[in-house]
Amino acid sequence: MSKIQKIKGFSDLFSPESTVHTLMENLARQVFGTYGCQEVRVPILEKTELFARSIGEETDVVQKEMYTFADRKGRSLTMRPEATAGVLRAFIESGQCGAEGTTKLFACGPMFRYERPQKGRLRQFHQLDVEVLGTDAPQADAEVVLMLWTFLTKLGLKNLGLELNSLGCPECRPVFHQRLRDFLATIDHTQLCEDCKRRAQTNPLRVLDCKVPACKSLVENAPSIAESLCPGCDEHFAQVRDILDSAKLPYRLNDRLVRGLDYYQRTTFEVVSGEIGAQTAVAGGGRYDGLIKQLGGPDLPGIGFACGMERLALLYGQAQIPAPDFYLAVLDSRALNTALLLAQRMRERGFSGEVSFEARSIKAQMRQANKLGVKTCLILGQDEMEKGQIVVKDMATGVQKNIGQDDLEQALGFRKP
Ligand code: HAM
């Protein structure tokens, strides 16, 4: 029979990779928790309309990257390509959007985008996502950026760059759109990539951050959105920058940072790294006032971000997996059951370890103990069984002694809760 292989762009995570993911998730929960974020778990599958309406019909994500299919009753469903839309749907549907004040939500899990797989770009990837809902204060923007930066710093990541921009609001964006369209009318469209030929008509902002070198050089002299911001957006952005300056958080203003999803307004940001290949963005986010209303909720503002866990993991490197506390070698098959119950007793008391299921040669079992990296090996043979004892071997020194089985925890000097 032929082997069944995983789907292209999907991956299996074994330890240490899975350990790194768990570690990142736990740290995210803890750090974001200190800012008041509550975890929400939302479905992976949603109605297609949710994403089309929020991310935008004209985006690459909606146009060509979604895993969309009809269910058995012919309803169009989509595997979430990002978390924001689902979190907002849940926020609205649960009625939490009616509560006063600010709601801070944390979500994580797998996302799905049908992109061309490469290093740091998968079709199933994982995000750590934060959404801060119900405030348009510039302080919230600054707090969100600081929250992300604190998390990345605590993760021990270095050499990251923070890029910042403001995309304006429905008042000033149309003015910029027109200026941009006027500019795009002056360039040679035949030189644009196929995507940008389409974007120039449907979504001109996106031409600005196309990564294709030919497009990049064609829009080199495009107008800057910074010059088109209305006084309200200008002031809002100035305040955000002011706080980040006071917090001594270095950033680079990038007026070409438009992000790939259409719901953004005002502050947008990305964290980039030059150390993980072509896919440089490890996290990105921004403000999306108007989106909650667009999804049928009240007119509440919001801002958030998501980190790509696979990209963070590339920077994080290998996790140090702690060795188990013991390995219990069994030399006589008649001792197997006693060994198993002794190991069980130890685990109930909080120790970690493995016990042999077979009475193999002592050499093979020592090899196994070394492979696990344990400091202490316990050995149980018929002789020890009869005396109610067990051998405790210090793997570093090779010194071994017999102790009573009842004295195991104490004799080993374990200090576990
Ligand atoms: P995004 O920029 O599309 O934003 O994705 C956020 C992060 O997810 C990226 O910076 C990247 O690290 C990771 N990512 C995206 N696509 C892939 C992929 N194919 N393979 C591996 N990693 C990937 C959002 O998704 C927004 N929902 C963020 C947000 C939350 N904005 C406001 N709130």
Q: Best mutation site among 55, 82, 114, 141 for ligand 1, i.e. most ligand atoms within 8 A of its Cβ? A: 82
Question: Do 23 and 110 lie in a common domain?
Answer: yes
Domain end marker among 292, 316, 340: 316
Q: Per the confidence metrics, is the pTM higher than 0.85?
A: yes
* CATH classification at residue 131: 3.30.930.10
Q: Tell how far the Cα of 219 is from the centroid of ligand 1, in angstroms.
A: 24
Residue whose CA is closest, atom 2 of ligand 1?
284
Is there a binding annotation on residue 153?
no
Q: Tell how far the Cα of 202 is from the centroid of ligand 1, in angstroms.
A: 22
Q: Best mutation site among 269, 272, 311 for ligand 1, i.e. most ligand atoms within 8 A of its Cβ? A: 311
Q: 3-state SS string over the chain?
A: CCCCCCCCCCCCCCCCHHHHHHHHHHHHHHHHHHCCCEECCCCCEEEHHHHHHHHCCCCHHHHHHCEEEECCCCCEEEECCCCHHHHHHHHHHCCHHHCCCCEEEEEEEEEECCCCCECCECCEEEEEEEEEECCCCHHHHHHHHHHHHHHHHHCCCCCEEEEEEECCCCCCHHHHHHHHHHHHCCCCHHHCCHHHHHHHHHCHHHHHHCCCHHHHHHCCCCCCHHHHCCHHHHHHHHHHHHHHHHCCCCCEECCCCCCCCCCCEEEEEEEEECCCCCCCEEEEEEECCCHHHHCCCCCCCEEEEEEEHHHHHHHHCCCCCCCCCEEEEECCHHHHHHHHHHHHHHHHCCCCEEECCCCCCHHHHHHHHHHHCCCEEEEECHHHHHHCEEEEEECCCCCEEEEEHHHHHHHHCCCCC
Counting atoms of ligand 1 from 1, which one is nearest the CA of 127? 8
Number of domain units in the chain: 2
Is there a binding annotation on residue 259?
yes
Q: Tell how far the Cα of 83 is from the centroid of ligand 1, in angstroms.
A: 9
Domain end marker among 294, 316, 338: 316
Question: Do 290 and 392 lie in a common domain?
Answer: no
Residue 200 in domain: no
Domain end marker among 270, 297, 316: 316
Residue 352 in domain: yes
Question: Do 237 and 362 lie in a common domain?
Answer: no
Question: Do 270 and 289 lie in a common domain?
Answer: yes
Residue whose CA is closest, atom 10 of ligand 1?
283
Q: Tell how far the Cα of 284 is from the centroid of ligand 1, in angstroms.
A: 6
Q: Best mutation site among 127, 163, 316 for ligand 1, i.e. most ligand atoms within 8 A of its Cβ? A: 127
Question: Do 338 and 310 lie in a common domain?
Answer: no
Counting atoms of ligand 1 from 1, which one is nearest the CA of 113? 19
Q: Tell how far the Cα of 122 is from the centroid of ligand 1, in angstroms.
A: 11
Counting atoms of ligand 1 from 1, which one is nearest the CA of 115? 19
Residue whose CA is closest, atom 25 of ligand 1?
82
Question: Do 134 and 239 lie in a common domain?
Answer: yes
Is there a binding annotation on residue 384?
no
Counting atoms of ligand 1 from 1, which one is nearest the CA of 260? 3
Is there a binding annotation on residue 334?
no
Ligand 1 pocket residues where CB is under 6 Å: 82-84, 113, 115, 120-122, 125, 127, 129, 131, 260-261, 281-286, 304-306, 308, 310-311
Distance CA 243, CA 249 (A): 9
Is there a binding annotation on residue 84?
yes
Domain of 300 in residue numbering reads as 17-172+229-316
Question: Do 256 and 402 lie in a common domain?
Answer: no
Question: Do 309 and 369 lie in a common domain?
Answer: no
Q: What pLDDT does 414 receive?
A: 55
Question: Do 249 and 394 lie in a common domain?
Answer: no
Question: Do 62 and 107 lie in a common domain?
Answer: yes
pLDDT tens digit at each of 417 positions of the chain: 999 999 999 999 999 999 999 999 999 999 999 999 999 999 999 999 999 999 999 888 999 999 999 999 999 999 999 999 999 999 999 999 998 999 999 999 999 999 999 999 999 999 999 999 999 999 999 999 999 999 999 999 999 999 999 999 999 999 999 999 999 889 888 888 988 888 888 888 889 888 888 888 888 899 999 999 999 999 999 999 999 999 999 999 999 999 989 999 999 999 999 888 888 899 999 999 999 999 999 999 999 999 999 999 999 988 778 899 999 999 999 999 999 999 999 999 889 999 999 999 999 999 999 999 999 999 999 999 999 999 999 999 999 999 999 999 886 765 454
Question: Do 237 and 382 lie in a common domain?
Answer: no
Residue 22 in domain: yes
* CATH classification at residue 402: 3.40.50.800
Residue 6 in domain: no
Residue 155 in domain: yes
296-327 confidence digits (pLDDT tens): 999 999 999 999 999 999 999 887 788 999 99
Is there a binding annotation on residue 343?
no
Q: Tell how far the Cα of 27 is from the centroid of ligand 1, in angstroms.
A: 19
Q: What pLDDT does 417 receive?
A: 46
Residue 190 in domain: no
Residue 21 in domain: yes
Question: Do 267 and 392 lie in a common domain?
Answer: no
397-413 confidence digits (pLDDT tens): 999 999 999 999 886 76
Residue 240 in domain: yes
Counting atoms of ligand 1 from 1, which one is nearest the CA of 261? 3
